[in-house]
Structure 1
Amino acid sequence: MAAEIRNAEVFKAMETWAPKHLAYDWDNVGLQIGSFGKPVKNIMITLDVLEATVDEAVENNIDLIIAHHPLLFKPLNQINLETAKGRIIQKLMKYDISVYAAHTNFDAADGGMNDIMCNLLGINNPIVLDKNYTEKLVKIAVFVPRSHADEVRDAMSRKGAGHIGDYSHCTFQSQGQGTFKPLEGSDPYIGAQGELEFVDEVKIETIIPAAKMTPVINAMIEAHPYEEAAYDIYPVENSGNVYGVGRIGTLNEQISLKTLCTRVKNELDVQNIRVTGDLDRNIKTVAVLGGSGEKYIKKAKHMGADVYITGDMTFHSAQDASEMGLSVIDPGHYAEKVMTSYTKSFLDDFFEENLNIAVSQSNTDPFQFI
């Protein structure tokens, strides 16, 4: 029988993909309703948490809703059961359904919302459009007997140490001799109390993102044979990975703006789009930002975009983009629904067959086209 899984384990899994520290400071991500300790078996993935979404969750005995858009975005002054928000909260509490949101942290994450869109649209070698977070790095040096060097190195690497680009287990090691004298009350792995011991050791050095330092150190200590592991932590000036919302990259070949519009409709599964610019114009460099991205039109243009794909473009911002020679494709905010199937696949792989994970069938797009 599979071990019981709790909300906290699912949240932790999501945050290996979209760490909370990547969220913008104005955002509200993580647990919205419920508790960390609640057992979970049935999960539903959705873009939004509306009343129809919650009714669907109740009907399908859902324990946890994972949403992109936070249910609780602004502070609540009251929970009025005569309002839609009040009824939503009441139903969630009554049927013990938890809600978790991954929003701008999911937008910024590697493989998150904007990378999903790039993948679907064939945008290659994307880089961040708006930088929000630069990873801080530290160096760790640990001294370990030669017999356990591989075990300690592997344990640290599994927790995120020594990952550079597409490579893992990036370390440097040097050999030397360590000394220690076990004192009264010690329980030495090597040697005896009161006797100075000389041991052939390996010094393993590697880089760690500061955010992963604690789990790496814990893994190292657990794998280390000594009662007291000797290690040093150094600050470094190297810059780590850069994160933020939006991406800009290039297509395999030039295509017309009209052809790109068709691709956007097909790949993002939207019925209608709005577009500015000459439809026969050739397009090569494309910027994309899921959700509302009109405030980044100048940045997209400055970084060399021929076209900017984003939702919720307003009239005057579209005019401004046209004046600076930047075409805009607006597939609407609801295009972000592409995150649901990718999130399901991630959690299916992470938990194998121990959870039932479904994608919401509720249409939360407020617009219809006639």
Structure 2
Amino acid sequence: MTIHAQTVIQWLEQFAPKSLAVEGDKIGLQIGSLQKEISKVLVTLDVTPEVVEEAISKGAELIIAHHPPVYRPLTHVRTDLPKGEMIARLLKHDIAVYAAHTNLDVAEGGLNDWLAQRLELADVEVLAPTHHESLKKLIVFVPHDHEAAVRQALGNAGAGHIGNYSHCTFRTEGIGTFKPGEGTNPYIGTQGEIEQVKEVKIETVFPASLEKKIVQAMLKAHPYEEVAYDIYELAQPGKARGLGRIGYLKQEMNLKAFAEKVKKALDVPFCRVVGPLDTPIKKVAVLGGDGNKYVQHALFKGADVLVTGDVYFHTAQDALLSGLSLVDPGHHAEKIMIKGLEHVLREKVREHKAEVQIIASEVNTDPFQLI
């Protein structure tokens, strides 16, 4: 059995919407076509010739990668050169390549949250906000006997989430009037007669991205043929989305012990460390990939240390001068996204009872060796 490739990508984009990506990022379909049926998906950090051969040998028709293989503009596709040969192999075997990069970094429950979880951080917040989701308010009028069902359906669909509270609503009582016309089948009342009904007005807020889901849930739970409801856009910003995370260790430790913790948690052979090794560490900022631009964000948020990759020499000097410790586990520490995204997609497969296999790449794509 197979599934349409676009269906798998829809699941991915529900989890990590393309709208979350940093402007100019090269995300989405990069090679091949999604207009086909597939049976296996390979999840990888990078697309290398070795990963392509892995996909061929395992029969994967779609590769989902974190790092876009076509990031800089191609001036040619020469099959006598390694990059062109790799692309030719993908096309020859009809393997599509889709990249989920900064949208996966920013997504709630995505790469930076997986990093924070690995480091066992508590009270986690976004380090560098890039988006604030728009909020809307739904007002719906419900007969008394269906009030609880409609409120429950709204909350279950994602409405009424304020901070760590869910199913938040406000209710007021009143009288609804209506006159059923010809061809109607009213839940309450008689055709041609004005009816007065005790109703409850339910108000709740929700992220704009969930509007379709919430309206569908409300209509399904509501008993009326024609439901009276209003939706308003709110001025106040919703939940922040962005790059990196910042939180607290359960127990304070010195920089040396913390660096050892990072090394073990992210399964890397070494970490570069900036700062006195006896520095006490409690508040931790973490950002997958290249985090050189986010030293000031970590300082502003009061972090004791920033965990990130690809730290430049002069960035390290500036951080040291500012009193911010750094732990650099390398860019390849982002490999944790393989298992993370594999789990997300497998949950979707189970939810939809789909016939598609999600495979985690076993190829080590780290170009560096420690001697």
Give 1:85 shift.
3.4
Give 1:207 shift.
0.5
- The code of the aligned residue for 2:359 comes to A
SS where residue 238 of structure 1 aligns? Answer: coil
Which of 231, 234, 243 aligns to 2:232? It is: 234
- The code of the aligned residue for 1:195 comes to E
Tell me the number of residue pairs that the alignment of Structure 1 and Structure 2 aligns.
368
Give 1:215 shift.
2.5
Summarize the Cα distance change of 1:145–1:272 in structure 2 as closer, same or farther, 3 Å threshold: same
How far does the alpha carbon of each residue in 1:286-341 deviate from its partner, in whole angstroms, 9 at most, with x for none? 21111000111122122222221111111111111112122211111000001111
The residue number in structure 2 matching 1:163 is 161
Summarize the Cα distance change of 1:77–1:160 in structure 2 as closer, same or farther, 3 Å threshold: farther
Summarize the Cα distance change of 1:185–1:116 in structure 2 as closer, same or farther, 3 Å threshold: same
The range that moved more, 244-253 or 328-337, is 244-253
Give 1:192 shift.
4.0
Contact 1:11 1:30 in 2 (8 A): no
Map 1:21-40; keep pairs closer than 5 Å: 21-40=19-38
The residue number in structure 2 matching 1:98 is 96
Which of 274, 279, 282 aligns to 1:281? It is: 279
The residue number in structure 2 matching 1:177 is 175
How far does the alpha carbon of each residue in 1:175-217 deviate from its partner, in whole angstroms, 9 at most, with x for none? 3222222334545444444322223323221111112112222
The range that moved more, 72-81 or 126-135, is 72-81
SS where residue 234 of structure 2 aligns? Answer: strand
- The code of the aligned residue for 2:43 comes to I
The residue number in structure 1 matching 2:366 is 365
Summarize the Cα distance change of 1:192–1:65 in structure 2 as closer, same or farther, 3 Å threshold: same
- The code of the aligned residue for 1:57 comes to A
The residue number in structure 1 matching 2:260 is 262
- The code of the aligned residue for 2:365 comes to T
CA distance in 1, matches of 2:263, 2:211: 43
SS where residue 37 of structure 2 aligns? Answer: coil
What 5-or-longer segments of structure 2 have no aligned partner?
none
CA distance in 1, matches of 2:89, 2:146: 54
The residue number in structure 2 matching 1:304 is 302
The residue number in structure 1 matching 2:327 is 329
The range that moved more, 79-88 or 103-112, is 79-88
The residue number in structure 2 matching 1:356 is 357
The range that moved more, 139-148 or 348-357, is 348-357
RMSD value over aligned CA atoms? 2.3
Summarize the Cα distance change of 1:74–1:212 in structure 2 as closer, same or farther, 3 Å threshold: farther
Matched, 1:19 2:17: yes
Summarize the Cα distance change of 1:36–1:237 in structure 2 as closer, same or farther, 3 Å threshold: same
Which of 84, 87, 103 aligns to 2:85? It is: 87
How far does the alpha carbon of each residue in 1:12-60 deviate from its partner, in whole angstroms, 9 at most, with x for none? 3223332222211121333333445533321211111122111110110
Give 1:165 shift.
3.1
Summarize the Cα distance change of 1:189–1:100 in structure 2 as closer, same or farther, 3 Å threshold: farther
Map 1:117-266; keep pairs closer than 5 Å: 117-266=115-264
Matched, 1:6 2:4: yes
Summarize the Cα distance change of 1:340–1:197 in structure 2 as closer, same or farther, 3 Å threshold: same
The range that moved more, 270-279 or 157-166, is 157-166
CA distance in 1, matches of 2:194, 2:76: 68
CA distance in 2, matches of 1:136, 1:301: 28
Contact 1:134 1:241 in 2 (8 A): yes
The residue number in structure 1 matching 2:344 is 346
How far does the alpha carbon of each residue in 1:121-178 deviate from its partner, in whole angstroms, 9 at most, with x for none? 2222222111101121110001233343344334433332122333332222333222
Summarize the Cα distance change of 1:82–1:143 in structure 2 as closer, same or farther, 3 Å threshold: farther
Give 1:76 shift.
4.0
Give 1:75 shift.
4.3
Give 1:281 shift.
2.2
CA distance in 2, matches of 1:84, 1:219: 51
CA distance in 2, matches of 1:89, 1:229: 53
CA distance in 2, matches of 1:14, 1:145: 38
Summarize the Cα distance change of 1:275–1:143 in structure 2 as closer, same or farther, 3 Å threshold: same
Q: Identity of aligned pairs, percent?
A: 49
CA distance in 2, matches of 1:81, 1:151: 61
SS where residue 359 of structure 2 aligns? Answer: strand
CA distance in 1, matches of 2:272, 2:94: 41
Could you tell me the TM-score, scaled by structure 2's length? 0.90
Contact 1:182 1:196 in 2 (8 A): yes
The residue number in structure 1 matching 2:315 is 317
The range that moved more, 201-210 or 352-361, is 352-361
- The code of the aligned residue for 1:356 comes to Q
What 5-or-longer segments of structure 1 have no aligned partner?
none
CA distance in 2, matches of 1:131, 1:104: 13
SS where residue 138 of structure 1 aligns? Answer: strand
Could you tell me the TM-score, scaled by structure 1's length? 0.91
CA distance in 2, matches of 1:314, 1:274: 11
